[in-house]
Structure 1
């Protein structure tokens, strides 16, 4: 067992003290701090080219990844284990009047003692078993564990059979520019040094899955995440004649009722089930107040997957949207009849029918009808839209659909379904090839070795349940699944692009062994010291040794 607690705690605090909120200058600051730290290690003083500070590619922000590797001398081997983790955090506004202490654990914990806290938080604060602060759990203690192991093997390369490569990436909390850029460097190192990437170990946080859950989880593979989005058009009318048109917000409300929290949209695989989708935004697209109903509305949903492809999700959601649209029209008709009866005004049959198209279907239709006129117009429109730096990829995509809709010959009410953000691919690690078999066996052996030294159960599950950069080191989707993403994302190739071939070129099985705690992304973020500072580094080290010693 490595006696690593004090060293990992020291590194954790050093990292937490740097406010590295995503999309801020703090990301540059922390990357430089990590680079300078590694540059001070004797091993890297002798081998400075084995540390790389890499600026992200095609990124509106200036920020950097740090990559570093140690070549073992125990036995010459090309086998290489990747340790990965992110240096950025979410913001600190949730700390309210304590935000100036959010990145100072000692000061924060002292201040929290004067606050009225939930009972569980107060117990943890007073126990001495937890460290509080932004990033302690997600995931600077995990990064500290990796840095400790890198330092250890830089001092003891004779104990390493093969190579250890650490990737500390930026921008995990937003657009994953960090890991997507790092893939280029990983491919370059593979070619230059002949690295055979055998496995990747991420160190993102783990938490209880339910009240009273005492398991400390290790995850093989990860959940996938999509952002299915819906542009909804109605029939505009004056609010004084509301039944002469149909409000797209009315259709949007029925759509959210149909999709949000719908257990039929949970994806089960290997005995594990995703949480259902839930709305992340619902709005109309009226720029100002008028007494007309809106022309269009926009809504998007978080959508987790274990085994479904992006193509299958589109098919399922198209069905759900048709159900919702039909229900909305039925309810509208019912209310209209009731109003006509009550007011004595004549009732007229409504002229609309449920109509749902994917963006790909609409775009293809418009190309067939309008040819190069439409293509050239949309190309120029997208380029002009890029000048508006206030638009994120989600609103950019909505504006593209809104503009394309103007070219439709039939502009009766409709729902257009598309993707408006990054697809984080699902990854299955099931033992389907030799590398996966070796990783699973190495993990099982590590748990068997370490469990006697820790009081709580260490359990494995198949899918890491949160979004992470694990999604970008392997690919379980086929070409048709990925094509459904690119063909149905209106910002693809302009505001947004992912080279999925880079992922295929690395394609390494990945697990997550990360710090344990509570309330990541919340004001009481905290990590349990013993598991995070002692068990995690030793479990990770044990897996490394098991993997590299296999014939």
Structure 2
């Protein structure tokens, strides 16, 4: 067992002290500091070419990844294990009056103790076994564990039959520019040094899955994430004649009622089930107040997958959207008829019908109706939108669909279903390849070896349940699935472009062995010291030893 607690704690505090909120200059600063830390180690002073700070590509911001590697000298093997983790964090606004202390764990702990705290938080604050602060859990303690192991093997390269790569990436919390850029660096090293990547070990945080859950989880593979989005058009009318129009907000409300928390949309695979979708935005697209009803609305939902493809999700959500549209029209008809009975006015038959289509189908219809005139126009429109730096990729997609809708020959109310953000692919580790089988066996051996020395159960599951950069080191999807995700994303090729072939070229099996704690992304984010600083580095090291330590 490695006696690593104090050193990993030291590195954790050094990294947490640097405020590295995603999409800020802090991402650049922490990369520079980490690079300097690694470059100052004796091994890397002797081999300076084996540590690099690499700027992200196709990125509007200046930020960097840090990569380093140790070449094992025990034997001349090309087998290579990647240790990966992200350096960025979410913001600190939730710390309110303690924001100045959010990245100073020691002072923050003392300040927190003076607050009125939930009982469980106070118990942890006073126990001496928890570290509070932004990034302590998600996931600088995980990066610190990897840094410790890189340093250890830089001092003991004779213990490795193969090579150990550290990848510390930026922008995990937003758009994954870091890992997507790093794929090219990893490929370059593969070609330059002959690396054969056989496994990747991520160190993102793990947490209880339910109240009272004492398990410390390790994950093989990861959940996939989509952002299905809906542009909803109605029929505008003056509010004084409300039944002469169709309010798109009514359809949006029914859609959210149909999708939010719906167990029918949970994806089960390998005995594990995703959480259902939940709304992340619901709005109409009226630019200002008027006494007219809105012409259109926009909603999008988080959607996790284990085995479904982007095509599967579109098909399932098309059915759900049709149900929601039907429910909205049924409700409107019922209320209109009640209103007519109350007022004595004659009822007419409301003209609207259920109408749902995907963005890909709409694009095909518009191209057939208008030919190159439309396709040139919409591409020029997208180029103009790129000049508006205030638009994120989700609003960029919405505005593109809104503009395309103006070209529809039939503008009767409808729902257009599309994707408006990055697709983070699911990764299933089934043991189909020798590399997968070897990693799974190494993980099982590590858990069996360490469990007797740790009091809480260490449990291996199949899907990391949160969005992570693990999605971009391996692919379980085929080309048709990726093509569907691209074809139905209005931002694809302009505001958003991911070279999934870079992922497929790497295609390395990945597991997550990360720090344990609670309240990631919240004010009382905290990391348990014993498991995170002792068990995690040793579990990771046992896997490394099994894979490239020699027999």
Smaller-chain TM-score bracket: over 0.9
Deviations 1:516-535 (A, max 9, x none): 00000000000000100000
Deviations 1:275-323 (A, max 9, x none): 0000000000000000000000000000000000000000000000001
1:478 aligns to 2:478 (yes or no): yes
Asked whether the equivalents of residues 405 and 411 of structure 2 are also in contact (C-alpha less than 8 Å), the reply is yes
Superposed counterparts of 1:224-373, under 5 Å: 224-373=224-373
How far 1:452 moved relative to its partner? 1.1
1-structure distance, mates of 2:550, 2:397: 48
- Could you list the structure 1 runs, at least 4 aligned residues long, displaced by more than 6 angstroms after superposition: none
Deviations 1:71-92 (A, max 9, x none): 0001110000000000000000
How far 1:475 moved relative to its partner? 0.3
How far 1:344 moved relative to its partner? 1.2
1-structure distance, mates of 2:547, 2:314: 39
Partner of 1:127, secondary structure, is coil
Asked whether the equivalents of residues 159 and 549 of structure 2 are also in contact (C-alpha less than 8 Å), the reply is no
Deviations 1:124-144 (A, max 9, x none): 000001000000000000000
Partner of 1:31, secondary structure, is helix
Superposed counterparts of 1:1-400, under 5 Å: 1-400=1-400
1-structure distance, mates of 2:262, 2:110: 43
1-structure distance, mates of 2:513, 2:108: 27
Asked whether the equivalents of residues 160 and 550 of structure 2 are also in contact (C-alpha less than 8 Å), the reply is no
Deviations 1:386-408 (A, max 9, x none): 00000000000000000000000
1-structure distance, mates of 2:328, 2:483: 31
2-structure distance, mates of 1:428, 1:397: 29
1-structure distance, mates of 2:262, 2:398: 24
Asked whether the equivalents of residues 57 and 177 of structure 2 are also in contact (C-alpha less than 8 Å), the reply is yes
2-structure distance, mates of 1:58, 1:443: 36
Aligned residues: 551
2-structure distance, mates of 1:192, 1:403: 47
Deviations 1:319-359 (A, max 9, x none): 00001101110110110101011011121101111000100
Cα RMSD (Å) of the superposition?
Answer: 0.7
Superposed counterparts of 1:432-447, under 5 Å: 432-447=432-447
How far 1:52 moved relative to its partner? 1.2
2-structure distance, mates of 1:8, 1:146: 9
Partner of 1:418, secondary structure, is strand
2-structure distance, mates of 1:113, 1:244: 60
1-structure distance, mates of 2:113, 2:518: 18
Q: Give the structure-1-normalised TM-score.
A: 1.00
In structure 2, the partner of 1:403 is: 403
Deviations 1:160-196 (A, max 9, x none): 1100001000000000000000001111111111100
2-structure distance, mates of 1:416, 1:289: 25
2-structure distance, mates of 1:502, 1:346: 64
